[in-house]
Structure 1
Amino acid sequence: MNAAPAFCAIDFGTSNSAVAVPDTASAMRLVELEPGQRTMPTAVFYFAEGRHDADGPPRAFGRAAVAAYIEGHDGRLMRSMKSILGSPLIDQTTDVGGGRGAKYSDIVSGYLKRLRRLAGEPTRAVLGRPVFFVDGEPERDATAQAQLEACARAVGFHEVHFQYEPIAAAFDFEQQAIREGKGEQIVLVADIGGGTSDFSIVRVGPERVQRLARRDDILASHGVHIAGTDFDRHIELAGLLQEFGYRATGPTGREVPSGIYFDLATWHLINTCYSPLRVAEWRGMKSWFNDVRQHARLMTVLEDRLGHELAARAEGAKIAISGGADTTVDLSHVELGLVLPLSEKTAVDALRADLDRIISTAHETVALAGLKVEQIDALYFTGGSTGLRLLVDGMAAGFPGAARVTGDRFASVATGLGLHAQRLFAPAH
């Protein structure tokens, strides 16, 4: 029997997670978290029925959690758990079905416990973190890291270190560049995932790779709390929810209140739309709508609890248009025959402000490093949202002299965290 690994590296992502463990004395490997998969959706499904066991309430994780939701099991799907960190919600209890409640901190801990078990139950870990958990609020940002560390320690990690996710990705890029015979370079890492868009400018090269202390090579780090889940929300609001009454005007000229639509488009707030009081309130607001079909569709979503499915359709639409093509969104589960067109132009218009903000943050990072655009040798793209062509093309256009390199969108950060963990924890040899 193989001995349990002494340490691991965890990329706990908003949308997907990955884990690296020692493979040999000089290498790390990504853990197979699900059959044939080195990454796993950051998702937990709480079943409304079933008995608690030593691990807690009956749950499914990753793709099994998403499948349980799609198959219609009674319960609650939790996603985007990372977005809770730094907020007062972490200590609150939420309904997970079957008359059960769970603290958000326990939901995060339960997922980390699953990752630790799949890694072989090591006791030391490097965890990735965004440059900012919370924009512009240093105290909340520090609180978010402390909360994540507390969750990690609660499931058996006795020693916990953190590394910025884009810096970890830079270490992955460095390994690739060295294998290709490249010398010293200055790389701008763009790590754009589900919750944050993070940037680091790092000096990499064969003369630097073995240094444990790389502080002098990290020229700047910056980020903004805008990324894939924000794209999903904007596409849902602009491309889907207008057919449910969002921004509609009623007979009196008043606009239908928009709060319910914003909550329906935000994963961790969707469940708040189903409270009996709120559903009853909206049932009585039919007279606010010029088009009563929009009210009927909204009530179907609220009464049949279809908000998460609607959000998933918006996410699917984002992926479909990511290469620049128009698509359609099938909403026949809400109303028979309801299929909505979604054009690339609608998506671009919905995302423009976010894309511009992310691109400007990349340029702000260059300025923070005291560099000019011309001094950036390479752009390294990682994170699930770098599959969005509109974003990557827009950013690359601002750095015409830099090589454009795309890493493993879902595993580059975990690979780089593993390299950092190895340098940190592996015994000298």
Structure 2
Amino acid sequence: MTVKACGVDFGTSNSTVGWWRPGQQTLLALEEGKTTLPSVVFFNADEESVAFGRAALAEYLEGYEGRLMRSLKSILGTGLMTGQTEVQGRPLRFLDLLSYFISALKQRAEVSAGRSFEQVVLGRPVFFVDDDAEADRLAERTLGEIARQAGFVDVAFQYEPIAAAFDYESRIQREELVLIVDIGGGTSDFSLLRLSPDRVTKVERLGDILANGGVHIGGTDFDKQLSLRAVMPELGYRTRLRNNAEVPSSYYFNLATWHTINFAYSRKVWSELQGVYADALERDKLDRLFNLISKRAGHWLAIQVEAAKIALSDSDSTLLSLQEIEDGLQHEVLRETFHESIDQLLGNIERTVGGLLQDAQLQAAQVDTLFFTGGSSGVPLLRQRVAAMFPNATVVEGDRYGSIGSGLALDAARRFG
């Protein structure tokens, strides 16, 4: 059976495209033979070109002049959807930026598959925006419009944790009550479903979905909190001015947040910091901040913080190099510091999961399986705290970067054939 539709998992950190074919690999190669394409765009001013994914990160790290944009999905549902930025001296709408990336994703998938795709099932978080139903609907409509601009004719949506459930269901031998725990780059999403090998061919599954929930917390938030707790103090965060007030925190929050890093490079910020510097008590730390901004090294620093977060999954400490900011500068980051920095976020995740059980009118002991997926589900403390809520459940580790895309491809095959 030739399936004409694909599934697209447009992720905050990484994206995949799945095409269901019996007996063959579902996910398509998108870059250098890899099935993931980092959700990154680099506008190379030196070469007057645009790069995506790993190539974009490589050009940025090689020192080319230009503009790096990451965590593109985080724009959806925010005020930035109607805003614009400046790239190579020209205005660029954030919506057009998203369109560039989705178009590149589609084109790469079609080259890999050797065919065109007109139908798509797009993954979406349970909530693009917390506690704002209208903004959430607008975000979905906007993403749908962008997909159509990229060339898709028929566009459907599926919750990302449900897509992951479909992927898991394709391999089980008996009926299970499953909690899908999808911790992505920008959101944490959860679904409680009854899965069974007898139901895998059904298109309509509403009766099997007991509850959905989500919260706007993900891996980029873990990066942000680690940066603010362990790194930004080395650049003057929370240091004092002569009047005993703190150095304004907005500069550091922008630099610690992937999709707002470029805001720190404006002339207005540079001018404001001159005045702050005159009254600062720890100017040596602000010197580092000035070096970071003058070199436009915010994304470089964010990459170092992300690498430190990953390293702390396996080690009690890691050494973070700040060489780009100051010669010879290094900073030891402890796993304990990381855990402290994300404690409140994990508490919010636990409350969201608890609310899911209440919505489904179930007890934790009734859940058979915890299925973890999403790149940020690799944080051991997160898995431990969620698993502790379900002591009787079997823990299953899914493909962190591929389960959703594979499930969306299965869903696309059922819907569009």
TM-score, structure 1 as length reference: 0.93
Identity %: 45
- For 2:46 and 2:330, the matched residues in 1 are separated by 34
CA contact (8 A) 1:256 1:288 kept: no
* 1:12 counterpart residue number: 10
Q: 1:168 aligns with which of 163, 168, 171?
A: 163
- For 2:399 and 2:262, the matched residues in 1 are separated by 33
Q: Greater shift after overlay, 221-230 or 15-24?
A: 15-24
Provide the secondary structure at the position in 2 that maps to 1:210.
Answer: coil
CA contact (8 A) 1:297 1:334 kept: yes
User: Cα distance, 1:416 vs. partner?
Assistant: 0.6
Matches within 5 A, 1:307-318: 307-318=298-309
* 2:113 counterpart residue number: none
Matches within 5 A, 1:159-238: 159-177=154-172, 182-238=173-229
Write out per-residue CA displacement over residues 246-268 of structure 1, whole angstroms, 9 at most, x where no aligned residue: 11123332211111111111122
Write out per-residue CA displacement over residues 82-118 of structure 1, whole angstroms, 9 at most, x where no aligned residue: 111122312322112x213321111111111111112
Moved over 3 A (4+): none
- For 1:396 and 1:324, the matched residues in 2 are separated by 21
* 1:48 counterpart residue number: 45
* 1:95 counterpart residue number: 86
CA contact (8 A) 2:18 2:409 kept: yes
- For 1:49 and 1:329, the matched residues in 2 are separated by 29
* 2:68 counterpart residue number: 77
CA contact (8 A) 2:178 2:367 kept: yes
* Counterpart check, 1:38 vs 2:35: yes
* 2:321 counterpart residue number: 330
Report how many residues are paired.
411
Matches within 5 A, 1:130-145: 130-145=125-140
Q: Greater shift after overlay, 185-194 or 201-210?
A: 201-210
- For 2:106 and 2:252, the matched residues in 1 are separated by 37
Q: Greater shift after overlay, 406-415 or 203-212?
A: 203-212
- For 1:9 and 1:28, the matched residues in 2 are separated by 13
* 1:54 counterpart residue number: none
Structure 2 segments unaligned to the other structure (5+ residues):
111-115
* 1:321 counterpart residue number: 312
User: Cα distance, 1:289 vs. partner?
Assistant: 2.2
* 1:154 counterpart residue number: 149
Name the amino acid aligned to 2:388. Answer: A
CA contact (8 A) 2:186 2:219 kept: yes
Write out per-residue CA displacement over residues 357-400 of structure 1, whole angstroms, 9 at most, x where no aligned residue: 11221121111111100110000000000110010011111111
- For 2:226 and 2:321, the matched residues in 1 are separated by 14
Q: 1:250 aligns with which of 234, 241, 257?
A: 241
TM-score, structure 2 as length reference: 0.96
> C-alpha root-mean-square deviation of aligned residues, in Å?
1.5
Q: 1:287 aligns with which of 268, 278, 293?
A: 278
* 1:55 counterpart residue number: none
Q: Structure 1 residues 28 and 332, CA, compared in 2 at 3 Å: closer, same or farther?
A: closer
Name the amino acid aligned to 1:336. Answer: D
CA contact (8 A) 1:233 1:266 kept: yes
- For 1:372 and 1:254, the matched residues in 2 are separated by 49
Q: 1:114 aligns with which of 94, 104, 107?
A: 104
Matches within 5 A, 1:397-408: 397-408=388-399
Provide the secondary structure at the position in 1 that maps to 2:171.
Answer: helix
User: Cα distance, 1:28 vs. partner?
Assistant: 6.5
Provide the secondary structure at the position in 1 that maps to 2:212.
Answer: strand
Provide the secondary structure at the position in 1 that maps to 2:232.
Answer: helix
Q: Greater shift after overlay, 350-359 or 282-291?
A: 282-291
* Counterpart check, 1:393 vs 2:384: yes
- For 2:212 and 2:406, the matched residues in 1 are separated by 19
Write out per-residue CA displacement over residues 223-280 of structure 1, whole angstroms, 9 at most, x where no aligned residue: 0001101000000000000011111123332211111111111122111111112102
Write out per-residue CA displacement over residues 23-50 of structure 1, whole angstroms, 9 at most, x where no aligned residue: 35x8662100012211110111111245
User: Cα distance, 1:22 vs. partner?
Assistant: 3.6
Structure 1 segments unaligned to the other structure (5+ residues):
52-57
Name the amino acid aligned to 2:344. Answer: A
